[in-house]
Structures are given as structure tokens and as C-alpha cells.
């Protein structure tokens, strides 16, 4: 099997990468991003790509993908509103269109979204509307095996967060109320497990991800609504 990871230099993407490299069922792992991760491994291939609205040059790479992990994103406030929409929605929509045209029908897609994502785009929060739009496009796409993960606060693992809210502000609350979020390595582990094994459940809220990470969750179909 072959794993392809978008956003492998990010806080969650780097954890997904290491889980994939440690998973014996993946014989090849490919990262696609503006920068390489710097990780060295015999089965890792890193591709620098700069135009995320055009995947034509990656046709041969993507056509052989067994599981695609989409962790590409940016924190609200780090870029302009226009750029935030482009990174969150346009890039992902372009990839979906490409896969529907030339991609293999058996590819499994795992999308990293966020708690509060609103597919109806009625939320007053920009990130919720943008993430919701990406989810809606995802669910409407003619891709059979798809999964969405909506973590709350993500406690960093190998890589620190680039959020505008400093970690020292949030971490004390996370220690007192761990249910508000999840550790990045656990989130990545669940994504990889679901990507490899499949699940009856399609949408995973933060609570679901925590339960699955702790071995408590039995998959059920869940309606995005």
C-alpha cells in the first residue's frame, strides 16, 4: 500500500508521517508540500510542489495512492481572509476534482478538519465556514471511501503549534479538562488506523477520536446533516 500526505510539515501531518512510516502495510510513503520535512526513511519520497490548484505533474504519483491524508491548512489570522479561503477550500477542491477525473476509485481519503466546522456556512466564525465548505465539497465528491476528523484543541507532539493563542495559555485548561482536545500523536494514529482499516463511521468529532484512540469506539454511520 502507498500513503500520500499533504501538509506533512504541519503539527498533525508530521505525526501522520511517522505513523505511516512505522506501519508495515505501507510500502511507500509520499509527502507533497511546499517544503520537505527533512525526515529520512527508506520508504519515504518527498515531493516539493507549489501550485495546489494544478496537480497535473503529479498524475503518476497520485494515481497509485492507496490512502491520502489531507492535513494541509493554515491558522486563521496568519494570512489574509482571501488566502485563508484559498488554502482551506480551493486547494482541497482542486485535489478532489483531480482525483475524480483521473484518480483511482479505490483511494481512501482522510481529511483533517476542525471542531465546529459548519457545512451550512451559517457560523459567525470564518474557520468554521471555511472548514465546513471543504467538508461539504468532500461529501459531495464521487469518492467512495472518505473520512473527516474534527479535533478540538490539538496538544502538540513533535512540532509546536503556530496558533496565535500561545500554548501556555491553553495547556493548563487542557490538563484540567482533557476532553476539550487531543494529543497530536493520538489524533494522527486514529487517522492512520481508519485510513488503513476503514470504519462504518464517516465523521469523527473530538470525543469520537479520543474514544477510538483509547480503543473504546465502535464505528457507526454518522450523518453530517
SS3 of 30-61: the string is EEEECCCCCCCCCCEEEEECCCCCCCHHHHHH
- The predicted structure's pLDDT at residue 225: 38
Strand order in the sheet with 2-6: 44-48, 28-33, 2-6, 67-70, 108-112, 145-150, 203-205
Query: What digits encode the pLDDT tens for the residues 5-60?
Result: 999 999 999 999 999 999 999 999 999 999 999 999 999 999 999 999 999 889 88
pTM for the whole structure: 0.90
Q: Is 182:114 a contact under the CB 8 Å cutoff?
A: no
Q: How far is CA 186 from CA 71, 150, 176, 214, in A?
A: 15, 13, 18, 9
pLDDT band at residue 174, thresholds of 50, 70 and 90?
A: low
- The predicted structure's pLDDT at residue 100: 85
All domains of the chain, ordered by start, with CATH? 2-213 (3.40.50.720)
> Is 50 exceeded by the pLDDT of residue 197?
yes
Query: What digits encode the pLDDT tens for the residues 105-135?
Result: 788 999 999 999 999 999 999 999 999 999 9
The percent of residues in the chain predicted with pLDDT above 70, rounded, is 87
pLDDT band at residue 206, thresholds of 50, 70 and 90?
A: very high
> Is 90 exceeded by the pLDDT of residue 75?
no
For 210, list phi and psi in degrees, rounded to 5: -65, -45
Query: What digits encode the pLDDT tens for the residues 140-151?
Result: 998 889 999 999
- The predicted structure's pLDDT at residue 219: 47
Amino acid at each position: 500500500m502507498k500513503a500520500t500526505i499533504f501538509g506533512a510539515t504541519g503539527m498533525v501531518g508530521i505525526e501522520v508521517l511517522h505513523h505511516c512510516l512505522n506501519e508495515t502495510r505501507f510500502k511507500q510513503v509520499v509527502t507533497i508540500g511546499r517544503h520537505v520535512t527533512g525526515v529520512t526513511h527508506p520508504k519515504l519520497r518527498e515531493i516539493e510542489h507549489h501550485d495546489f490548484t494544478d496537480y497535473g505533474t503529479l498524475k503518476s504519483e497520485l494515481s497509485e495512492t492507496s490512502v491520502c491524508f489531507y492535513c494541509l491548512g493554515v491558522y486563521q489570522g496568519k494570512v489574509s481572509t482571501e488566502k485563508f479561503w484559498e488554502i482551506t477550500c480551493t486547494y482541497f477542491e482542486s485535489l478532489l476534482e483531480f482525483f475524480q477525473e483521473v484518480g483511482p476509485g479505490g483511494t481512501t481519503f482522510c481529511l483533517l478538519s476542525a471542531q465546529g466546522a459548519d457545512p451550512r456556512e451559517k457560523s459567525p466564525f470564518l474557520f468554521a465556514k471555511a472548514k465546513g465548505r471543504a467538508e461539504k465539497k468532500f461529501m459531495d465528491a464521487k469518492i467512495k471511501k472518505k473520512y473527516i476528523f474534527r479535533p478540538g484543541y490539538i496538544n502538540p507532539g513533535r512540532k509546536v503549534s503556530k496558533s496565535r493563542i500561545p500554548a501556555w495559555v491553553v495547556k493548563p485548561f487542557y490538563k484540567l479538562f482533557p476532553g476539550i482536545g487531543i494529543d497530536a500523536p493520538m489524533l494522527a494514529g486514529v487517522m492512520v488506523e481508519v485510513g488503513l482499516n476503514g470504519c462504518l463511521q464517516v465523521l469523527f468529532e473530538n470525543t469520537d477520536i479520543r474514544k477510538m484512540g483509547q480503543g473504546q469506539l465502535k464505528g457507526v454511520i454518522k450523518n453530517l446533516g
